[in-house]
Amino acid sequence: MKDTATESMIQAVSDRLESFGFVVHKVVGVNQTILGAIGDKRSVEPSEFEVMEGVHEVLRITVPYKLASRTFHPENTVIEVKCASFGGEQVSVIAGPCSVESEEQMYTIAREVKKNGGRGLRGGAFKPRTSPYAFQGMGEEGLRIMQTIGEELGMPVVSEIMEINQLDLMLRYVDILQVGARNMQNFSLLRELGTIRKPVLLKRGLAATIEELLMAAEYIMSGGNYQVIVCERGIRTFETYTRNTMDISAIPVTQKLSHLPIIADPSHGTGRRAKVAPMARAAVAAGANGLIIEVHHDPDRALSDGAQSLYPHQFQRLMEELRMIAWAIGKHI
């Protein structure tokens, strides 16, 4: 709509779109209101709307992800949760252990994360392990521990939801719900997450293209939950030196295609402690809106992903470096 369009003009266009059977998603920007019409494009000619009062331009969005597309929503989406913010000038670092193992473990690590400028606390309570015999997570007790510590330190907590039937439980304890790489195309779970009004951290699937990642985000958004943060966490390639191949280019590509914030996970992206800091620095330099990093005070005894977890002193050093990189590109940590 034109910047001069009145509320009643906007309403008239919206009503007309609905009368053609479209579902209308209204985006109110700083200068302009955009009406996103989702439905069968064959049923209508753009010119029928171009002549309506207050209409600036009618564009067909040809990409399959509409709500996630930058065409539909030119300004960055900024998602704020407590002291964390994703999509603006702040680069928010979420850190913590792969799994919550005990109250003492979580508290020790959380204090280090907070002290060094981390803005979110991670920890898995339900773990998607490759082996059914490996530690599967503490479950509700783990969530309770995270919530208590998160509240005490004033930090939002992020934890992975593996199944729909965990949703009520997760909503009681967690500020940001993580969808793991293995569940990126669990469409029934994504649909369910569209019904809630809490941010979702959606990780790129092990072999998913950027378009598939954005289509997964679209599933959540189509239910009305627009708070989706996507995450590059490495993809499967023929390379075996690292656990996954971290696709740094996915950061600027996603930001061009979509208004959604994108963060990077150099821990799962490399699987090797010594490679986490270089890739974290590269991700921030490439414009990532945040990072999610595994940190453990005693990684040799960690119940999962010890080999890729940073020691607290390494995390401290990394945060100092990231501050300088962020500053160089007009952002802050």
| Positions in the binding site for Mn ion (CB under 5 A) | 98, 305
**Contact with ligand PEP (CB under 6 A) among 97, 124, 142, 199:** 124
Give the DSSP letter of residue 30. Answer: S
Spatial contact of 4 and 45, defined as CB atoms under 8 Å apart: no
Contact partner, 181, from ligand PEP, Mn ion, none, Cβ < 5-8 Å per class: ligand PEP
**Binders in 263-282 for ligand PEP, by CB under 6 A:** 265, 268
Please identify, using beta-carbon distances, which residue of 222 and 304 lies nearer to Mn ion.
304
User: CB within 8 A of 70, min separation 6: which ones?
Assistant: 256, 257, 258, 259
Residue 76 is classified by DSSP as: P
Instruction: Indicate which of ligand PEP, Mn ion, none lies near residue 203 (CB less than 5 to 8 Å, by partner kind).
Output: ligand PEP
- CA–CA separation, 118 and 136 (whole Å): 26
Q: Is 98 in the site for ligand PEP (CB under 6 A)?
A: yes
Q: How far is the CB of 210 from ligand PEP (least distance, A)?
A: 16
CB of 311 to ligand PEP, least distance (A): 18
Residues near 214 by Cβ (< 8 Å), separated by ≥ 6?
Answer: 63, 65, 68, 69, 230, 254, 257, 258, 260
Q: In angstroms, what CA-CA distances link 326 with 119, 260, 284, 321?
A: 15, 19, 7, 9
Question: Contact, 107 vs 149, CB < 8 A?
Answer: yes
Q: Are 155 and 120 in contact (CB under 8 A)?
A: yes
Answer with the entry of Mn ion, ligand PEP, none that 331 interacts with (C-beta below 5 to 8 A by kind).
none
Residue 154's binding partner among ligand PEP, Mn ion, none (Cβ under 5 to 8 angstroms by kind) is none
Site string for ligand PEP, 214-233 (x = CB under 6 A): -------------------x
Q: 10, 162, 181, 257: which one contacts ligand PEP (CB under 6 A)?
A: 181
Q: How far apart are CA 259 and CA 228, in angstroms?
A: 10
State which residue, 98 or 161, has the beta carbon closest to Mn ion.
98
Residues that bind ligand PEP (CB under 6 A): 98, 124, 128, 180-182, 203, 233, 265, 268
